[in-house]
Chains A and B, each alone.
Chain A
Amino acid sequence: MRVLFAVGLALLLLSVESVVVKYLGLTLARIDVTVAIVAFLSLRSGLLEGAAGAFAVGYLLDLMSGRPTGLYTFLAVLTFLLGRIARSLVEVRGALGFAVFALAADAVHGLLALAVTWLTSKTWGMGALSPAGLPLEVLLTGAAALCLYPVLQRFGPVAERAEPGLIELHR
């Protein structure tokens, strides 16, 4: 159920984003709404359920990017797994905590995207890939996560952990 919700939400948000980006004329950065959803899955879902959800969300991003190569499907699952590891180290509470978690996830996702693309293509150094837009992208994604928090909460609290974590992010 949570996977279907994540996929439906990702499909809706990606469609809206592609139109909004057109009107806003954002050329340098996009809002990684899918990473916010993957972050939610890593905090809230079980291993298999979350990985399947992340796979589906990444597949959608790949598809909507116009040139599906599998890159974002791979990165979504990887980000989900890294998010699961992070979840065991930090406690995420409240909208702000979730936004910071999504922000960090997007930074990792963006850097991994650059690294993997660099490793698998010959276009590095020709302006094809640029980390210049990453800080803005990360901030926009954090803001988007903050806005998405109430919607995601409808499918259960973002994180519930009995034991205290190493870093605590309070509301």
Chain B
Amino acid sequence: MQHSRDVLALLKRHREPLLVLLLLAYPLVQLLGAGARARAPNLVDRILLAATAPLQRGLVTVIDAAAGAWERYVALRRVERENRTLRAEVQSLRTEVGGMQEARLENERLRRLLNYPEVESGQRVVARVVGISPDANRLTVRIDRGEADGVRRNMPVVTPDGVVGQVLRATGSAADVLLLVDPNSRLGVRVQRTRARAGAAGTGDDRLLRLDYLLRAEDLEEGDAVVTSGTDGVYPPGLMVGRATRVQRQGSGMFLGAMLLPAVDFSRLEEVLVLSPPGTSPGLLPRAAPVPARVEGPR
């Protein structure tokens, strides 16, 4: 009895340092337990994110409005000079239009021939990038669409140029997108020309991806387009990922080493498209232009 009273007195006397120790230990235990895996958003997270999302949206609107006003002012000053130049250009372009018309008709004919789908089904949500992670080592962006708009975790995010990443976390009116270039990003890819399957991984550098698990015997050249394979269960097949660079064929080993230049400029992300989960088609825009596939036997 006396012993427990002593312990209580001791705890009471050192209450402050013990509480501080608890504040230090709790996140450490969480960090050691979870590693690089992020926790799912709890109620507090949701409330805080809901509080910041309108502020971020408002700031983006104000900055855009100011930039737009400035651009319009500058544009007005250029208008007269440009007008003269444009009149001259119109004359030359009119002659080119005739030739273009012919090319368009030819394009339509070829598309019909390839039976290329013009309209594809599947939910798509257009979202605006409103923020970037305050940590330079975590390559995520925040978009202004969330669960209320049908955005869910793991949904693929694209732009007309190619794959951006996947939804990491969605709350009511906002969502965080893990960029393809984040070191935790992995996806299944295919070399468009040869149809060889491989993996791509983020490097932490927003201008570089790593190409993994491409057999050394495979044909890969600098500049080869690499598209999603659809085998990772997140990204639909055929979306542009990037182009091969720094191809290294080692003397030994099973795989060749190569990097990818991402198709998307991650430093200039403005609007993105959140696609439906795999199983539904992603649409025409971000899909890489089809090239005749070379059949190389079963893979």
Residues of B in contact (CB 8 Å), total 56
Cβ-closest 9 pairs across A and B: A66-B140, A18-B131, A70-B30, A128-B183, A73-B27, A70-B27, A67-B38, A74-B27, A70-B31
- Whether B203 is near chain A, meaning CB under 8 Å from some CB there, is yes
A68 CA / B138 CA spacing, docked (Å): 10
Given contact pairs A70-B31, A123-B183, A48 touches B204 in the complex (Cβ within 8 A): no
Q: How far is the CB of B198 from chain A (nearest CB, A)?
A: 17
Residues of A in contact (CB 8 Å), total 58
Residues of B contacting A126 in the complex (Cβ-Cβ under 8 angstroms):
183, 203-204, 210
- Whether A143 is near chain B, meaning CB under 8 Å from some CB there, is no
Given contact pairs A19-B59, A48-B19, A51-B23, A70 touches B131 in the complex (Cβ within 8 A): no
Do B267 and A25 touch (CB < 8 A)?
Answer: yes
Do A128 and B204 touch (CB < 8 A)?
Answer: yes
Given contact pairs A11-B51, A16-B59, A48-B19, A30 touches B204 in the complex (Cβ within 8 A): no
- Whether A9 is near chain B, meaning CB under 8 Å from some CB there, is no
- Whether B17 is near chain A, meaning CB under 8 Å from some CB there, is yes
Q: How far is the CB of A160 from chain B (nearest CB, A)?
A: 21
What are 7 A-B contacts with C-beta separation under 8 Å?
Answer: A30-B134, A66-B135, A68-B38, A68-B45, A69-B34, A123-B36, A127-B208
Among the 9-residue stretches A93-101, A113-121, A149-157, A161-169, the one with 4 or more Cβ atoms under 8 Å from chain B is: A113-121
Q: How far is the CB of A104 from chain B (nearest CB, A)?
A: 19
A150 CA / B119 CA spacing, docked (Å): 57
Given contact pairs A70-B27, A71-B27, A65 touches B52 in the complex (Cβ within 8 A): no
Do A69 and B39 touch (CB < 8 A)?
Answer: yes
A96 CA / B33 CA spacing, docked (Å): 40
- Whether B20 is near chain A, meaning CB under 8 Å from some CB there, is yes
Do B23 and A22 touch (CB < 8 A)?
Answer: no
- Whether A78 is near chain B, meaning CB under 8 Å from some CB there, is yes
